[in-house]
Structure 1
Amino acid sequence: MIRHLVLFKLNEGVHRDDPRVAAGEAAFRALGGQIEELRHWELGWNVSERPIAYDFAINSAVDDEAALKRYLEHPAHQAGVALWREFATWVVADYPF
């Protein structure tokens, strides 16, 4: 199994109540039911106020690197990424477990 972690940081001046953020969150929430490669799918807003904290996280899992590639290339995933690209940056970690 491969764990796929993504941490998002909203761009300066962008807040959670921004309609773009709501659309991006909705697009990512829907992925769990749309992409068959996903074996685990959870996401949510960070509750930490620490200055080094990111704002939003995705914790997911797929069977192997081939499944990860299919997930990343899936049109629904790409559409969600395009939305988030407008208002956030992110970091990713993919590791076997």
Structure 2
Amino acid sequence: MTSNTEMDLTSLTEYQQAILKVLADADGEALWGVEVRRRLKEDYGIELTKNGMNAVIRRTSRYPRHMVVIKWVDDSEIENNTRHVSHRLKPEYIDEVRKQLQ
């Protein structure tokens, strides 16, 4: 692996691969973390808590954060003082994720 674009996604954990597949399925749409977890459960039979998902994508893991835009949702979109994070696979990586993982 000489660059980020040549990453072997099959070497990631099952959970990391599943998150990337959910994001690729969204075709570049930003999804709140709660929606990612819902789709993980429905589409791949994987149940993750909020803390569990945070552990899967933490900076010290092999999760390819360079491929994903992760940002706090604008305060105007927050309900009941709950903080939400959006996840969006960068368009240039959608086909690569599909090719390697699906």
Fold similarity call, TM over 0.5: no
The TM-score normalised by the length of structure 2 is 0.33
Higher relative contact order (CA 8 A, sep 6+): 1
Higher strand share: 1
Higher helix share: 2
